[in-house]
Homo-oligomer: A and B are copies of this chain.
Amino acid sequence: MPRVVVDVMLKPEILDPQGKAVHGALERLGFDGISAVRQGKRFEIELDGKEASDAVAEIEEAASTLLANPVIEDFDVRVEP
């Protein structure tokens, strides 16, 4: 069943302490060759029989209302098979 996925990430200019902490931990574990890590949220939204493509506009509104803080976060809405 197709679903709509919403990825929410901090805007590039916003400091990402969680990402920095993960980056540091990866380096301490010996994973080198990584220049930066940014952490965000992923929402998988299942729909009640409605066509996923029809719901994208509505989900975009929901994302900017509830799932993301448009002041500091960017979001991306897409349909996944």
Chain A 12-45 interface mask (CB, 8 Å, partner B; 1/0): 0000000100100110010111111111111111
Copies in the assembly, this chain: 2
Report A26 CB to chain B, min CB distance, Å. 6
Q: How large is the interface on A (under 10, 10 to 19, 20 to 34, 35 or more residues)?
A: 35 or more
Which B residues are CB-close (under 8 A) to A49?
33
Residue of B nearest to A31 (CB): B62
Chain B residues whose CB sits within 8 angstroms of the CB of A55 once the complex forms: 33
User: Which B residues touch A67, using CB under 8 A?
Assistant: 22
Q: Are B22 and A48 in contact (CB under 8 A)?
A: no
Bound together, the chains give a CA A38 to CA B4 distance in angstroms of 11
Among residues 30 to 79 in chain A, which have CB atoms less than 8 Å away from a CB atom of chain B? 31-50, 55, 58-59, 61-62, 65-67
**Interface residues in chain A, defined as those with a beta carbon under 8 Å from any beta carbon in chain B:** 7-9, 19, 22, 25-26, 29, 31-50, 55, 58-59, 61-62, 65-67
